């Protein structure tokens, strides 16, 4: 916007006799004889005596914008009336000069005073920050408003166009300069008068007392003892919003409304993006950039996106709409839409781009985060937009959610496929919990934290489920059915893997380990327990007891056989060779069990304890009874020491060493023998 600093040098050289020219006249144009009484500013050249000059200058010193404003208002009223009275006049009647309207000299003086004020503000003197003084604000804005009204009347009144071209040029130059000044100030106030939280945090409150006073004058902010005061976005004080609105109104009245709106749009868009970067670490990324990102990069970007979208819905966008409505009343949301619509479309583009990236099971939860954010935060966001844009955005969100939902369902299918395809032939050492069991159960447990969302996803976006479930869908939700199917697949996979163990007891330990892990995970999660139900848990617990019985029978049943009475007596007498062999067989078998099963693993402490207690409960009473019944038939001393290797307490201690996963040492049974 150009600024014209030219003004008529002859303005200030007026005679005392010309003061009567300050009265608005509706007469014909003057002839040369009375030209001194009716002077057009910009063309006044009069002869005055020195005494008049001194008096005139003395009076002009007293003239200010305020003192001339009332006279200018009367002139504007008269000029407006004159314009209406002569709007139908034509020159065909030979009365081209009949509608002449005389402009008094004080108009030029008013323009000069306004120009001086603008020059003072443009000088950069920090003491002339005009908006800190309410009287200055009123004086300047009212003066600019009067110039705008004057220009409007001059340009739309034929006689003024015909006779007052120099005045029109002068007033136009001043108006243009005033509008350029207001535009710059509007931009500056818009960008620099946002109350920042950092200005409220004070280490030494005394050092900032002066700042606090200024802030109260400008922004109505009270500095508090703590620096964590919440400031409502976008952070302008009410006084500043009122000032910005007044500037916008004056610029619009002067025909510069478009320029003011343009400054507002650029300024607020930049401020919004800076705020999103500062508060949310958000930066725009294109769809192509999203699809080229590694999962690690994308995993960091998605939480930033979800926070930004939520904050825009609840805080930033409502703040932008409210601010635009306050500064530009009657705008009907058009400025808000220009500032935020493109950003909203970019948000939705990011969501779709994530859904289109290569699928993998670890992406499910971030995808569900985006899905939930759109579902929960978009409804309040869309209410901010007018109906035509609302419909467009709603379609975009529906498309994004559909892509995300379908991707989530396919990821679950991929989980099924990964279980089916896991056909490794290497058994897990010690019968421990299989990595696939851990991964699947942790995955399902975490999935069930999104249970309601997954229920909605499967219900709204699943095509294959509806065909496969048939009548079952009414009794069991699509997600629950999917979960059951995954559990069945996992069970089948573990059953197959248990057959990789040549030792049946170890196979049982493997199934107990994995089964116990699954049940504990389900019981430990209210969400997954709700889906699987008590019936399923009871069934699995029953299966675990069966494996427990099988293990005990296969391992300790044989050892208990050595403690039976059969074959040890003949004709009522003890057969010592058979008794000695029985003790030797028991010792050897127990040593082998101890050596082997100390390397087996049971991670669940409760299961480990239950097994040890159950083994002890079976073995110790039987061994104690056998010793009491037959130990006396061995000769004391060397014979007893050779065949009675363990006391019952030794057996009990060694049982407590089982299932520790101790692969680095062999049996230490002999060292445990009590003497």
R_g over Cα of the chain: 47
Neighbours of 360 (CB within 10 A): 10
Asked if residue 648 is part of any domain, the answer here is: yes
Asked if residue 229 is part of any domain, the answer here is: no
The stretch 544-557 carries a mean pLDDT of: 94
Asked if residue 463 is part of any domain, the answer here is: yes
Same domain membership, residue 550 and residue 567: no
Q: How confident is the model at residue 229 (pLDDT cuts 50, 70, 90)?
A: very low
Which string of b and e fits 648-663 if b means at least 16 CB within 10 Å? bebbbebbebbbbeee
248-282 pLDDT, tens digit each: 999 998 899 999 999 999 999 999 999 999 999 99
Per-residue confidence (pLDDT) for residue 318, from 0 to 100: 95
> pTM for the complete prediction?
0.74
Per-residue confidence (pLDDT) for residue 68, from 0 to 100: 74
Cα-Cα-Cα-Cα dihedral sign, residues 335, 340, 342, 345:
negative
Same domain membership, residue 48 and residue 9: yes
In DSSP terms, which residues pair with 570 in a beta bridge?
Answer: 573
404-427 pLDDT, tens digit each: 999 999 998 899 999 999 888 899
Same domain membership, residue 469 and residue 540: yes
**Domains of the chain: total:** 4
Q: How confident is the model at residue 137 (pLDDT cuts 50, 70, 90)?
A: confident
Instruction: Note whether 28 and 97 are within 8 A (CB).
Output: yes
Asked if residue 273 is part of any domain, the answer here is: no
Show Cβ contacts of residue 433 under 8 Å, excluding neighbours closer than 6 positions: 513, 514, 517, 603
Same domain membership, residue 455 and residue 401: no
Same domain membership, residue 293 and residue 386: yes
For residue 573, the SS3 value is strand
Measured CA distances, 263 to 174, 186, 342 (Å): 21, 8, 18
Neighbours of 84 (CB within 10 A): 10
Q: What is the CATH number of the domain that holds 577?
A: 1.20.1280.170
Same domain membership, residue 427 and residue 496: yes
Asked if residue 241 is part of any domain, the answer here is: no
The residue from 131, 156, 187 where one domain ends is: 187
Q: Which residue has the tokens 């709700």?
A: 530
Same domain membership, residue 299 and residue 154: no
Range of the domain at 327: 281-412
The Cβ-side half-sphere exposure at 411, using a 13 Å CA radius, reads: 26
Q: Where are the alpha helices (DSSP H) in 287-363?
A: 287-292, 295-311, 317-327, 334-355
Show Cβ contacts of residue 353 under 8 Å, excluding neighbours closer than 6 positions: 287, 290, 291
Neighbours of 13 (CB within 10 A): 14
pLDDT above 70: percentage of residues in the chain: 73
Show Cβ contacts of residue 541 under 8 Å, excluding neighbours closer than 6 positions: 519
Strand 569-570 to 573-574 pairing: antiparallel
459-495 pLDDT, tens digit each: 888 764 454 444 444 446 888 888 989 999 999 999 9
Q: pLDDT averaged over the chain?
A: 79
Asked if residue 663 is part of any domain, the answer here is: yes
């Amino acid at each position: 916007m150009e600024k014209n600093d030219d003004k008529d040098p002859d303005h200030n050289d007026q005679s005392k006799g010309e003061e009567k020219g300050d009265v608005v006249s509706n007469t014909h144009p003057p002839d040369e004889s009375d030209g001194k009484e009716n002077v057009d500013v910009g063309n006044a050249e009069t002869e005055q005596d020195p005494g008049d000059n001194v008096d005139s200058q003395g009076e002009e010193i007293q003239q200010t914008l305020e003192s001339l404003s009332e006279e200018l208002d009367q002139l504007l009223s008269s000029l407006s009336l004159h314009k209406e009275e002569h709007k139908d006049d034509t020159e065909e009647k030979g009365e081209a000069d009949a509608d002449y309207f005389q402009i008094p000299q004080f108009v030029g003086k008013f323009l000069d005073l306004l120009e001086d004020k603008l020059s003072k503000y443009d000088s950069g003197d920090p003491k002339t920050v005009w908006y800190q003084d309410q009287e200055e604000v009123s004086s300047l804005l009212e003066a600019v408003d009067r110039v705008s009204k004057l220009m409007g009347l001059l340009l739309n009144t034929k006689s003024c166009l015909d006779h007052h071209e120099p005045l029109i040029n002068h007033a136009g130059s001043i108006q243009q300069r005033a509008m350029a000044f207001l535009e710059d100030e509007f931009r500056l106030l818009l960008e620099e008068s946002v109350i920042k939280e950092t200005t409220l945090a004070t280490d030494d409150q005394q050092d900032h007392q002066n700042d606090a006073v200024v802030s109260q004058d400008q922004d109505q902010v009270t500095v508090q003892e703590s620096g964590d005061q919440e400031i409502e976005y976008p952070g302008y004080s009410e006084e500043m919003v009122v000032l910005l609105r007044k500037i916008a109104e004056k610029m619009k009245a002067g025909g510069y409304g478009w320029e003011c709106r343009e400054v507002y749009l650029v300024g607020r868009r930049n401020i919004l993006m800076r705020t999103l970067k500062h508060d949310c670490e958000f930066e725009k990324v294109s769809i192509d950039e999203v699809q080229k990102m590694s999962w690690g990069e994308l995993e960091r970007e998605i939480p930033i996106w979800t926070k930004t979208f939520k904050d825009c819905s609840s805080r930033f966008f409502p703040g932008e709409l409210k601010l635009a409505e306050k500064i530009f009343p009657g705008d009907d949301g058009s400025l808000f839409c220009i500032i935020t619509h493109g950003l909203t479309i970019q948000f939705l583009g990011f969501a779709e781009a994530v859904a289109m990236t290569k699928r993998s099971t670890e992406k499910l939860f971030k995808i569900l985060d985006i899905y939930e954010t759109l579902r929960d935060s978009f409804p309040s966001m869309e209410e901010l937009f007018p109906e035509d844009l609302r419909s467009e955005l709603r379609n975009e969100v529906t498309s994004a959610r559909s892509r995300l939902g379908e991707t989530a369902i396919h990821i679950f299918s991929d989980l099924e496929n990964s279980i089916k395809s896991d056909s490794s032939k290497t058994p897990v050492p010690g019968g421990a919990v299989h990595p696939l069991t851990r991964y699947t159960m942790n995955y399902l447990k975490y999935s069930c934290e999104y249970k309601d969302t997954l229920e909605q996803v499967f219900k709204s976006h699943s095509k294959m489920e509806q065909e496969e479930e048939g009548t079952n869908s009414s009794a069991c939700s699509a997600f629950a059915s999917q979960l059951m199917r995954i559990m069945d697949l996992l069970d089948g996979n573990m059953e197959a893997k248990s057959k990789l163990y040549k030792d049946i007891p170890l196979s049982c330990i493997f199934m107990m380990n994995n089964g116990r892990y699954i049940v504990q995970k389900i019981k430990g999660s209210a969400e997954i327990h709700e889906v699987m139900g008590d019936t399923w848990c009871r069934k699995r617990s029953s299966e675990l007891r069966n494996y427990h019985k099988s293990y005990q029978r296969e391992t300790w049943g044989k050892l208990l056989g050595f403690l039976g009475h059969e074959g040890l007596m003949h004709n009522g007498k003890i057969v010592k060779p058979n008794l000695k062999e029985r003790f030797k067989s028991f010792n050897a078998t127990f040593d082998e069990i101890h050596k082997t099963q100390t390397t087996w693993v049971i991670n669940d402490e409760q299961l480990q304890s239950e097994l040890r207690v159950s083994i002890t409960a079976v073995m110790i009473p039987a061994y104690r009874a056998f010793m009491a019944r037959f130990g006396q038939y061995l000769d004391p001393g060397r014979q007893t020491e050779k065949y009675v290797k363990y006391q019952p307490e030794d057996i009990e201690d060694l049982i407590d060493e089982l299932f520790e996963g101790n692969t680095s040492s062999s049996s230490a049974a002999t060292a445990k023998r009590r003497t």
